[in-house]
């Protein structure tokens, strides 16, 4: 003899009734909370509108950011005062980070971490010194040089043919930088010590980047996460920059 499970039918609210609106609204609220909670704590993406990180990131790159790289953050707290379970850890030298611009936290910036609390930093004529030691550069030439130059657009203050490219290594991170040797004066930085609770950041496009050399250190609490991949590369047709779609950049590791 088999027992049959009794079926309980749930009466659906009438279309466009008050209860229907209430149920629909609650369903959308739950979806929005889940999506934004996930983006606030785990993974998010950002569109890069400027060339300060060229040639590592092209204008129009959309990057994926790991928000758990420096600790587990409670959802939505980044909009007020970030709360990390177990505390927030430091980025590593060389990490590309997304952070709230110290002068206007409503704006998000993307730069490379150069120095950590207690480090000394100096930049003179595009020579970078960390803790008194120059960070060496290796010239890039040939096909790789052409590939990197193709990421630049000609502008009134920038001729791609003037840019020279180098490999640079900080810690375990090896990356590319661009410099314009025709500049009469480069953006320098007197020797400074990074204070506790802050990092020093720079763009890879060394002569065309507003970074810690201009507006100072980045508070660690301002850091949103670590960029690790390009998932799309598209300059919109309505942008003030020339239109580009670069499918070959999709999946590029950072």
Cβ(229)–Cβ(106) below 8 Å? no
Residue of 40, 67, 73, 111 marked catalytic: 111
Cα–Cα distance, 252 to 232 (Å, whole number): 9
- Quickly list DSSP for 118-139: T-EEEEETTEEEETTEE--EEE
| CA torsion through residues 137, 140, 157, 47, sign | negative
Query: Is 7 an annotated catalytic residue?
Result: no
Structure-token pair, residue 196: 């506790």
At residue 21, the 3 state secondary structure works out as helix
Residue of 40, 52, 212, 233 marked catalytic: 52
Cβ density class 120-153: b for 16+ within 10 Å, e for less: ebbbeebebbbeeeeeebeebeeeebeebbebbe
Query: Is 52 an annotated catalytic residue?
Result: yes
Cite the active site residues: 52, 111
């Amino acid at each position: 003899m088999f027992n049959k499970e009794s079926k309980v039918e749930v009466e659906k609210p009438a279309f466009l009734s008050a209860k229907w609106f209430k149920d629909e609204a609650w369903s959308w609220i739950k979806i929005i909370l889940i999506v934004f909670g996930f983006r606030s704590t785990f993974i998010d993406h950002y569109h890069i509108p400027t060339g300060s990180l060229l040639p590592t990131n092209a204008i129009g790159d959309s990057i994926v950011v790991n928000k758990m790289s420096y600790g587990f953050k409670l959802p939505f707290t980044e909009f007020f005062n970030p709360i990390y379970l177990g505390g927030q850890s430091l980025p590593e030298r060389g990490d590309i980070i997304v952070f709230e611009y110290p002068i206007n936290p409503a704006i998000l910036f993307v730069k490379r971490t150069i120095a950590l609390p207690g480090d000394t930093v100096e930049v003179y004529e595009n020579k970078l010194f960390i803790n008194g030691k120059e960070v060496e550069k290796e010239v890039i030439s040939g096909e790789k040089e052409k590939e990197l130059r193709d990421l630049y657009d000609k502008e009134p203050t920038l001729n791609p043919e003037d840019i020279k490219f180098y490999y640079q290594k900080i810690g375990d991170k090896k990356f590319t930088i661009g410099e314009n040797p025709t500049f009469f004066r480069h953006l320098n930085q007197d020797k400074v010590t990074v204070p506790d609770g802050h990092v020093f950041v720079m763009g890879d496009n060394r002569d065309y980047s507003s970074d810690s050399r201009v507006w100072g250190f980045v508070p660690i609490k301002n850091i949103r996460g670590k960029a690790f991949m390009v998932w799309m590369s598209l300059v919109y047709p309505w942008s003030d920059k020339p239109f580009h779609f670069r499918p070959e950049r999709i999946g590029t590791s950072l």
